Amino acid sequence: MPGWQARQHRPVTLAAQISEGLAPLVDLIYPPRCPLCGEAIARQSGLCGACWAELVIPGEPACALCQRPFGGAAAEPGAICAPCMADPPRHDGIAAGTLYNGGSRRLTLAFKHGRRLALAPMLARLIAARLPVLEGEWLVVPVPLHRWRLWSRGFNQAALLAAELAKRDGLTLLVDAIVRRKHTPMLGGLGRKARARALSGALAVSPRRRERLRGAKVLLVDDVLTSGATTDACTRALKRAGADKVVVACFARVLDEALDGALAAGGAIETGGTNETPGAEAPGAT
């Protein structure tokens, strides 16, 4: 298992040093503004204080298997949450930059639908801060977008985050490791079993990458983790292809309680996720 302690020391790359050095010049030409509310801020690559304060970073103590925060309740080291107890996960841990709420929702929608692609490094930075120590060689694999959706949007947000994470930590990006074999309907509004059914057979390892994945350690990246049905289907495909470990990394994690609450209220969580129906404006959930 990877260690889940927060990482303290990270090597600073030359590219990062150069971009840091250029920052004052860029700030002079384009005065930095908060990408969410337009408030003036000190640096290009952040949010204003009020928008930062809206983001919730998952806390400790947390489930030993899926890192679900226990929400302030005391827990023994190694304690496992009820959902993991009922249905042990296939993955080897979940690193979430934030918990899904109004603030992280606005950020992901701005990133995807507002095409604020410049947010990618900041979102990746928040994810990276939550990653365990990844020893040895890790492959970074995004949850794929159906090619129809990729064509209409022009980019896969999960792939952009995966590329940023790979660049930051010197990991190998394998952008086409998983492919969508069929289009899946919108998952928002579907229950857990219906989501799993809708995804069955939809996600598979690319035959070209099968060899590369045997025995590999994989960081599986998505922007929003809702029920986990999509990442679970990806994890199953990766492990069937022989992957040794799969750690899930996401920017915003919807805790099941929030999802169940939304479903019980007859609504869907709006994430603009990777499973939207082509042409539909309303974002679906993954």
Query: Do 127 and 161 touch, CB atoms closer than 8 A?
Result: yes
Interaction of residue 247 with Zn ion, rule CB under 5 A: no
Q: In the chain, at which residue ranges do the beta strands (DSSP E only) sit? A: 94-99, 138-142, 172-173, 178-180, 203-205, 217-225, 245-253
Q: Which is nearer to Zn ion, 81 or 219 (CB)?
A: 81
Find the binder of Zn ion among 16, 23, 26, 34 (CB under 5 A): 34
Interaction of residue 54 with Zn ion, rule CB under 5 A: no
Cα separations in angstroms, 110 against 37, 61, 268: 11, 31, 19
How far apart, in whole angstroms, are the C-alpha atoms of residue 77 and residue 123? 29
Interaction of residue 68 with Zn ion, rule CB under 5 A: yes
CB atoms within 10 A of CB 189: 16
Give me the least distance between CB of 34 and Zn ion, in Å please: 3
Token pair listed for 198: 């809708």
Find the binder of Zn ion among 48, 120, 203, 219 (CB under 5 A): 48
Find the binder of Zn ion among 55, 66, 124, 187 (CB under 5 A): 66
Interaction of residue 63 with Zn ion, rule CB under 5 A: yes
Cα separations in angstroms, 79 against 60, 71, 94: 12, 13, 15
How far apart, in whole angstroms, are the C-alpha atoms of residue 222 and residue 156? 10
Near Zn ion in 81-120, by CB under 5 A: 81, 84
Interaction of residue 139 with Zn ion, rule CB under 5 A: no
Give me the least distance between CB of 214 and Zn ion, in Å please: 28
Find the binder of Zn ion among 37, 129, 133, 194 (CB under 5 A): 37
Q: Which is nearer to Zn ion, 34 or 179 (CB)?
A: 34
Near Zn ion in 140-179, by CB under 5 A: none
CB atoms within 10 A of CB 233: 25
Q: By CB under 5 A, which span of 27-35, 205-213, 241-249, 255-263 interacts with Zn ion? A: 27-35
Binding positions for Zn ion, rule: CB under 5 A? 34, 36-37, 39, 48, 51, 63, 65-66, 68, 81, 84
